[in-house]
Amino acid sequence: MSYSDDCETPHTTLFPCQEKGYIPESENVLFHTNLLAPQSSDAIYFEAPPEPGNYAYVCTFPGHALIMRGVLKVVPPQ
Ligand SMILES: [Cu+2]
């Protein structure tokens, strides 16, 4: 495979695997739900990262990342 990126914005390329629920095996994936069928739900419980900041989350099902994304904002205790 040859990949060329002439855009001014950064990009990544990955090949998610259906058998693994389209969840990349990476130390950069902190938490994830299981692959959910339509009209189903899942809940995950985790401790927020200790460092305040913005932590991006995204749906890795093919084609969804453009609109199914958000930011978990961790703020210092007040
Ligand atoms: Cu999705």
pLDDT category of residue 2 using cuts at 50, 70 and 90: low
Tell me how far the alpha carbon of residue 60 lies from the centroid of ligand 1, in angstroms.
Answer: 7
Tell me how far the alpha carbon of residue 2 lies from the centroid of ligand 1, in angstroms.
Answer: 27
Tell me the pTM.
Answer: 0.70
3-state secondary structure the chain: CCCCCCCCCCCCCCCCCHHHCCCCCCCCCCCCCCCCCCCCCCCCCCCCCCCCEEEEEECCCCCCCCCCEEEEEECCCC
> Domain limits of the chain?
1-78
pLDDT tens digits, 4-44: 657 676 666 667 678 888 888 888 888 898 888 889 998 99
